[in-house]
Structure 1
Amino acid sequence: MDLSAIAASQPYPLLFATISGAHLYGFPSPDSDYDLRGVHILPISEVIGLHTGQETIEVAELREDLELDLVTHDVKKFFGLLLKKNGYVLEQLYSPLIVHSTPEHEELKAIATSCITRHHSHHYLGFAQNQWQLFEKEPRKRVKPLLYVYRVLLTGIHLMQTGKIEANISRLNQEFQLSYIPSLIAQKLEGGEKSYLVDAEIEFYRQECDRLITALEQASQASTLPESTDPASKDALHDLLVRLRMKSLR
């Protein structure tokens, strides 16, 4: 699938486009869809009048027998999410799987380091707890949601300890050394999106989930990350937004 061509065909200029989902998290199976995430830039004519452009563009379709899930937000909306301690947008921004980039993308990544706080832990705690509840409700336990639970908890702990985003579970596990992670990844890669657990150690997985939740809470409390976003970063985001909008007048 030519993701670069897909990015180039979007109706508005893109600040960046990156790959998220299973490919970013380190456990894509052959039938995994492609999650393309990015930021588009509405022209001034579509933000100051009564008829405004799309703040969010979503495309879900089948291409070359693979599912494409594309979501882009207008730059102003994305900046707002960034200031609301949203871990998803950080992962999209810092994804190393880059489909399209610009100099302003690099500038945004530099600014965003000052937007990271210890309270980003709430995003990861909430996501993990919701995913675990969904996992428990399944009659047959799938590997995918379980990997999502552990991936998000390890990402959160790593962020609290280092201030850096790392969403790939295999790279995270080089640090955490959890013996069951390679086995779960192998099951997901071999069995695809609908792969089910080959063992019934649900109580063990529940205890591990609880342990990692506690570890994330403790990492947040001990973190040297700031309590709130640096006010200067909001000013820098404002300046960048104005410059990006003004480009549409040239």
Structure 2
Amino acid sequence: MHARIHAALTRLEASHGIRILYACEAGSRAWGFPSPDSDYDVRFVYCHPPQWYLALDESRDTLVFPIDDELDLSGWELRKTLRLLRGSNAALLEWLQSPIVYHEAADFRAVVQPQLPECFNPLAVLHHYQGLVRRGVEEDLLPEEVRLKRLFYALRSALAARWIRERQTLPPMAFAPLRVLLPAALQPHVDALLQCKASANEKTTVPRPELLVAFIEAEYAANQHARTTLPTPRRHDPTPALSALFRRLLGVA
């Protein structure tokens, strides 16, 4: 599959006249709990030749393609990416931590990662994860039989939000390091469900695990409170550094 992904990225560069700077896995395979039939969620950052940026009007800054069999492929243009980083976009912050990197040029991750502490806004990222927890609490985890996939989405998001509340640092992308925040009594339940998910398909359901759901509901309530009490550190404006990085990656600095 990796060869197919590399071939798809090469074709994209040729057909769209772009340079792909970074491509990574962004879904359950990167989080650490894939199912055998999980898609490959490939996300990439690309740039155009410098003259593309000199037009009076800005052009399309996103490339999205229909899911083809197992491959879900989409990407953001470099300027859009750096603007989203400035706004502490949670999805992008995850991409930049992905343990599965399919392609990298110009030492992209190495030169971008030093900007993360200045761009990370705890409240903004907490809000993102709280939205995912809300879906679990209000929709996905209500039936007596719940989709295993959706249970782990909600649990991972609850732990990421808890990480922000307790540590006020960027939460890791992978599920394994987040598990240190899970009460010891719940760890065996998670182990059993992970083992089940490793051999289940994306639509597999399990009886609602009441203890885990109660934990997620409690985290949801704690997050609601934290949205009004979480301190937001004052940071330097990252715009000058990101602008310099933009020029460097375009090769015009």
TM-score by shorter chain over 0.5: yes
Displacement of 1:246 in angstroms is 4.2
The DSSP-based 3-state class of the residue aligned with 2:45 is strand
CA distance in 1, matches of 2:249, 2:151: 40
CA distance in 2, matches of 1:200, 1:125: 20
Q: 1:86 aligns with which of 84, 89, 95?
A: 89
- Does structure 2 retain, via aligned residues, the 8 Å contact 1:155–1:166? yes
Deviation digits for residues 160-191 of structure 1 (CA, Å, limit 9, x no counterpart): 41624312223321453432222222222222
CA distance in 2, matches of 1:141, 1:74: 37
Most deviating of 70-79 and 166-175 = 166-175
- Does structure 1 retain, via aligned residues, the 8 Å contact 2:25–2:102? yes
Partner of 2:244: 239
Q: 1:166 aligns with which of 162, 172, 183?
A: 172
Most deviating of 145-154 and 208-217 = 208-217
> Percent sequence identity over matched residues?
24
Paired amino acid for 1:189:
A
Most deviating of 152-161 and 120-129 = 152-161
CA distance in 2, matches of 1:38, 1:238: 20
CA distance in 2, matches of 1:174, 1:162: 16
Relative to structure 1, the CA distance from residue 138 to residue 47 in structure 2 (aligned partners, 3 Å threshold; closer, same or farther) is farther
Displacement of 1:140 in angstroms is 4.4
Paired amino acid for 2:30:
L
The reply to whether residue 116 of structure 1 matches residue 125 of structure 2 is: no
Aligned-residue CA RMSD (Å): 2.7
Displacement of 1:98 in angstroms is 1.1
Displacement of 1:116 in angstroms is 1.0
Displacement of 1:28 in angstroms is 0.7
Relative to structure 1, the CA distance from residue 228 to residue 16 in structure 2 (aligned partners, 3 Å threshold; closer, same or farther) is farther
Relative to structure 1, the CA distance from residue 80 to residue 117 in structure 2 (aligned partners, 3 Å threshold; closer, same or farther) is same
Displacement of 1:39 in angstroms is 0.7
- Does structure 2 retain, via aligned residues, the 8 Å contact 1:90–1:165? no
The DSSP-based 3-state class of the residue aligned with 2:205 is coil
Q: 1:59 aligns with which of 54, 59, 65?
A: 65
Partner of 2:203: 194
TM-score for both structures, normalised by structure 2: 0.82
Deviation digits for residues 190-241 of structure 1 (CA, Å, limit 9, x no counterpart): 22101101x244x544321122224546777887x7435531x221111111
- Which blocks of at least 5 consecutive residues in structure 1 are unaligned? none
CA distance in 2, matches of 1:186, 1:166: 22
Matches within 5 A, 1:1-250: 1=1, 2=3, 3-11=5-13, 12-49=18-55, 53-62=59-68, 66-101=69-104, 102-119=106-123, 120-136=125-141, 140-160=145-165, 161=167, 163-176=169-182, 177=184, 178-179=186-187, 180-197=189-206, 199-201=207-209, 203-216=210-223, 226-231=232-237, 233-247=238-252
